[in-house]
């Protein structure tokens, strides 16, 4: 593992690190905020999964999460959204390829050699964090935005008992029925739509639900509403009587202005579950 940078931030440390990844077959970069309490012992962690076109850096610099995490004494981890490198397959479109890993393990060429973001986020990076930093892997929560909200919800429901809470900002909620999903799941996983279901939060909410609290924030002025399909997730939560909160925020769009406005709520929501 290489240290790219470390800066004092709200009494803790905001670091950026890189390492060779077995899952993605190349070098991966991630951001990690450790609160001051990590100097004394292990701290719980909140994962933040970013959306299309993002790297580890976007949320780390724009979401304003570190101050709230420092108040709660929790770590924040900001993974990248896809593999990188000259030998990694890409596409001219912004919503496929680099920056658009969709948190799946690709089974189709040319994507399958490197696009294994599910294994990277679910297995490899947590193990690295547990070895190298004062992170308590028994206390994890997860959140994310857009494509990252999709990833947070599907990973949380696929790993019962791992995450104490899950939340999302404007998640891609029903990708099997959206152009933000059909295109990517078809490319990465092939034409067998039966393989897509585990990566659809609305379908998984109907099928298995989440064994903890859920918080969803969606702006009602989001210009991607027809692609995100939040109503499918809201209906699934209600039908299952999921322990959760779904909020439509009047006037808010899809931007980091929206995320930063409600970030305190999501950090405190995670912390309450992590320290329960």
Among candidate residues 21, 150, 222, 266, the one labeled active-site is 222
For the CA atoms of 190, 124, 17, 62, what is the dihedral angle to 10 degrees?
60
Judge whether 150 counts as a catalytic residue: no
List of long-range contacts for 34-38, beta carbons under 8 Å, 24+ apart = 34/75, 34/133, 34/134, 35/10, 35/11, 35/69, 35/70, 35/72, 35/73, 35/74, 35/75, 36/11, 36/12, 36/70, 36/73, 37/73, 38/12, 38/13, 38/75, 38/133, 38/134, 38/135
Terminal C-alpha separation, the chain: 33
Among candidate residues 114, 145, 150, 254, the one labeled active-site is 254
Judge whether 178 counts as a catalytic residue: no
Judge whether 222 counts as a catalytic residue: yes
* Phi, psi torsion values for 73, nearest 5 degrees: 70, 35
Among candidate residues 146, 165, 167, 178, the one labeled active-site is 146
- Chain-centroid distance of CA 44 in Å reads 16
CA-to-CA distance for 188 and 186, rounded, in angstroms? Answer: 6
Catalytic positions, written as ranges: 146, 222, 254
């Amino acid at each position: 593992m290489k240290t790219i940078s470390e800066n004092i931030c709200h009494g803790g440390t905001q670091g950026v690190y890189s390492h060779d990844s077995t899952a993605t077959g190349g070098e991966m970069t991630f951001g990690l905020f450790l609160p001051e309490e990590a100097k004394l012992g292990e701290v719980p962690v909140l994962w933040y999964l970013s959306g299309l076109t993002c790297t580890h850096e976007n949320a780390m610099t724009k979401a304003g999460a570190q101050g709230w995490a420092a108040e709660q004494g929790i770590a924040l981890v900001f993974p990248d959204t896809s593999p990188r490198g000259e030998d990694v397959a890409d596409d001219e479109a912004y919503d496929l390829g680099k920056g658009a890993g969709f948190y799946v393990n690709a089974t189709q060429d040319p994507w399958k050699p490197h696009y294994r973001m599910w294994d990277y986020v679910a297995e490899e990076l947590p193990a690295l964090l547990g070895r190298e930093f004062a992170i308590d892997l028994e206390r994890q929560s997860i959140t994310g935005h857009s494509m990252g909200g999709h990833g947070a919800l599907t990973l949380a429901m696929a790993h019962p008992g791992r995450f104490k809470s899950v939340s999302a900002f404007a998640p891609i909620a029903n990708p099997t029925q959206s152009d933000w999903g059909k295109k990517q799941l078809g490319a990465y996983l092939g034409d067998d739509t039966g393989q897509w279901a585990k990566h659809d939060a609305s379908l998984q909410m109907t099928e298995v639900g989440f064994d903890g609290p859920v918080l969803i924030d969606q702006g009602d002025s989001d210009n991607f509403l027809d692609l995100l399909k939040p109503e499918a997730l809201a209906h699934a939560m209600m039908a299952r009587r999921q322990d959760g909160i779904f909020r439509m925020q009047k006037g808010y769009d899809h931007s980091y202005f929206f995320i930063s406005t409600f970030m305190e709520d999501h950090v405190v929501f995670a912390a309450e579950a992590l320290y329960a």
